[in-house]
């Protein structure tokens, strides 16, 4: 399973490269509602890319840079000590993303590395746009400003029913004695809006999104993901 470090770069110099370093790497993002298994599947995909001889960078959102990690703590753990209004929430996600894109993602892609990112701009559209009711077109404009042209080559939407996802989260918290974060504590109706928002985004951009049924065991889901990613790598 992938380490939960904010950012890790995996380099495999003894294996043949999937792409010459003069070629741009592929940008692969994972999206999905809570409990869909994004982090697990991102780790499995990094391993498969490794086995295929690739140079891979893993990133997560929000986070991945010192500024981004500070914003992550504010957004997930309420470290600001005051309620965060929806507009501030949107702009904090965008600020973290702008740092990650400019300091990490774009340099890696230009160096020929593949980037696997656990959440990206679509998360903010789904959660803050569809979930909180922030105007969608305005949300997309903010995202475009933040990502500086770093559009994913493929977005893997791990879809799972909200109730199933929260059963997984409850089990994880029991097993790890971890606490529920600020977003996980939102009402189920909010999370239903998020899931439906993701599906709407997939309908809007069918050439980029691939919907993956995330209800199966991790190995089966990983096999389906790999079959889709290989089409992008070819």
In three state form, how does the secondary structure of 150-197 look? CCCCEEEEEECCHHHHHHHHHHHHHHHCCCCCCCCCCCHHHHHHHHHH
What pTM does this model have? 0.88
Residue 110: what pLDDT? 96
Residue 12, pLDDT > 70, answer no
* Phi, psi (degrees; rounded to nearest 5) at 58: -105, 135
Of the chain, the percentage scoring pLDDT greater than 70 comes to 91
- Is the model more confident about 11 or about 109? 109
Sheet with 56-60, edge to edge strand ranges: 7-10, 56-60, 114-118, 27-31, 154-159, 209-213
Residue position matching structure tokens 């702008």: 98
Buried b (16+ CB within 10 A) or exposed e, 99-108: bbbeebbbeb
Q: In this predicted structure, what is the pLDDT of residue 103? A: 97
Note the pLDDT of residue 53.
93
SS3 40: helix
**Average per-residue pLDDT for the chain:** 90
Are 171 and 35 in contact by the 8 Å Cβ rule? The answer is: no
pLDDT of residue 190: 98
CA distance 98 to 115: 16
Q: What is the pLDDT of residues 96-108, one digit of tens each?
A: 999 999 999 999 9
- Which among 137, 139, 103, 143 is positioned nearest to 120, based on CA atoms? 143
Higher pLDDT: 79 or 88? It is 88
CB-CB contact of 126 with 202 (8 Å): no
CB 30 within 8 A of CB 158: yes
Sequence-ordered strand ranges (E) for the chain: 7-10, 27-31, 56-60, 114-118, 154-159, 209-213
Give the H/E segment covering residue 230.
helix 218-233
């Amino acid at each position: 399973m992938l380490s939960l470090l904010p950012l890790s770069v995996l380099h495999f110099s003894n294996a043949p490269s999937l792409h010459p370093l003069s070629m741009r790497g592929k940008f692969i993002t994972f999206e999905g509602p809570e409990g869909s298994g994004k982090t697990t599947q991102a780790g499995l995909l990094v391993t498969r890319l490794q086995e295929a001889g690739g140079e891979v960078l893993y990133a997560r959102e929000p986070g991945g840079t010192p500024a981004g990690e500070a914003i992550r703590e504010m957004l997930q753990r309420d470290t600001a000590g005051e309620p965060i209004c929806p507009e501030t929430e949107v702009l904090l996600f965008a600020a973290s993303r702008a740092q990650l894109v400019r300091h990490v993602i774009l340099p890696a892609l230009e160096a020929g590395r593949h980037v696997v990112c656990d959440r990206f701009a679509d998360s903010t559209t789904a959660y803050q746009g569809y979930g909180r009711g922030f105007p969608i077109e305005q949300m997309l404009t903010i995202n475009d400003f933040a990502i500086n042209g770093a559009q994913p080559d493929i977005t893997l939407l791990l879809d799972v029913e909200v109730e199933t996802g929260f059963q997984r989260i409850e089990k994880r918290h029991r097993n790890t004695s971890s606490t529920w974060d600020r977003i996980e504590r939102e009402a189920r109706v909010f999370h239903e809006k998020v899931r439906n928002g993701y599906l709407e985004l997939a309908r809007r951009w069918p050439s980029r999104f691939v919907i993956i049924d995330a209800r199966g065991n991790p190995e089966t889901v990983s096999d389906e993901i790999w079959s889709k990613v290989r089409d992008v790598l070819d």
